[in-house]
Amino acid sequence: MNTKALLAQIAIVLIRPKNPDNIGAAARIAWNMGINRLILVKDSVPEREAMAKMATHKAAHLIDSLEIYRNLDEALADFSVIVGTTARRGRQRFVERTPRELVDTLLPLLASNKVAILFGPEDTGLTNDDLKYCHFASAIPTADFSSINLAQAVAIHCYELYYGVIHAQKDMVRSPQLATSHELESMYSYLEESLHSIEFLEEVNRTYWMTNIRHFFSRIMLTSKDANVVRTVCKKLLLYQKTHNR
C-alpha cells in the first residue's frame, strides 16, 4: 500500500471535547499530516463555525464530513487496533509507549487493519471505561509538567504517524487482519456472562478481572477467527449451564 492508502487507515477520535476550537485545530493538524478521518464522540454537535474557524478552509471538509457518535462503542465498531492517549497512570492502565514507540508497533498492522487514536476531554482525559476498548496506550514524555493541550497532543501523534508511514520499510512484514472492536466486545460480553455463571466473577471483583482479561487478550491481538472461537466456547458453556441447572 502507498503512503496515502496507509494513512487512510487511521482515524482521530475525540471523546467529549469541551472546546470546539480544539476540534477544528485537530482537523487542521490531521489534514496536514495526511489523515482524513475525524470522529467525534459527543452528545451534542458543536457549532460548525467555531470548529471551521480553527480548521481553516483547507481542512473545512473534515468538519463537514465529521463522524459523530453518542457512544464510544458504536464509534469504534469497525476498528481492529485502538490506541488510547493518556498522561494519567493507575493500576488499571496499560504500560504506556511514547508516540514514536507506538508507531513502530502500528506500522506492520496498518495495511490490514483500521487504527483509531483516542483523545479524551481536555480537563480529565480518557476514563478507565474509555481505555477498556484499547489495545495500546500512548503517553507523550515531558520534562516535568505533563499537561499538554488536546490539539498539541493530536499534532504530536499525527506527526509521528505521518513520519513513520513515509519512512516505512517497503519489505516490512504485514500483520494479519485482526478482530474488530465490535467482534471483541461481543466476545467479552459472552465471556463475562460465562465467568459469572460459574461464579468466577462476583460484583466486588468483576471490573478487576475483566480489565485484566481485556489486557491479556489485547497483548495477544486476536483475529476474527480467534474471537469467534472464544465466543462459541462461551455460548456452549452457557447452554450447558442452562440445560443442567433446570
Question: Residue 213 is part of a domain; what is its CATH number?
Answer: 1.10.8
User: Which burial class, exposed, middle or buried, applies to 28 when counting CB atoms under 10 A from its CB (0-12, 13-18, 19+)?
Assistant: buried
pTM above 0.85, yes or no: yes
User: Domain total for the chain?
Assistant: 2
Q: Are residues 194 and 160 in the same domain?
A: no
Q: Are residues 149 and 189 in the same domain?
A: no
Residue from 98, 96, 165, 174 nearest 134 by CA: 96
Q: Which of 166, 194, 228 is the last residue of a domain?
A: 166
Q: Are residues 158 and 116 in the same domain?
A: yes
- 171 lies in some domain: no
- 237 lies in some domain: yes
pLDDT value at position 146?
66
C-alpha angle 17-180-207 in degrees, rounded to nearest 5: 65
Q: How far is CA 172 from the centre of its chain?
A: 23
Question: Residue 157 is part of a domain; what is its CATH number?
Answer: 3.40.1280.10
Q: What is the number of alpha carbons within 13 Å of residue 171 lying toward its C-beta?
A: 0
Backbone angles phi, psi at 221, to 5 degrees: 65, 80
- C-alpha span between 64 and 57 (Å, rounded): 11
Q: Which three cell numbers stand for residue 107?
A: 506500522
Q: Are residues 92 and 202 in the same domain?
A: no
pLDDT in tens, 190-244: 999 999 988 898 888 898 999 999 999 998 999 999 999 999 999 999 998 888 7
pLDDT value at position 91?
46
Q: Are residues 125 and 213 in the same domain?
A: no
Tell me which residues of the chain have a pLDDT lower than 70. Answer: 88-95, 145-146, 169-173, 246
Give the domain extent around 211. 181-244
pLDDT value at position 178?
96
- 186 lies in some domain: yes
- 174 lies in some domain: no
pLDDT value at position 151?
94
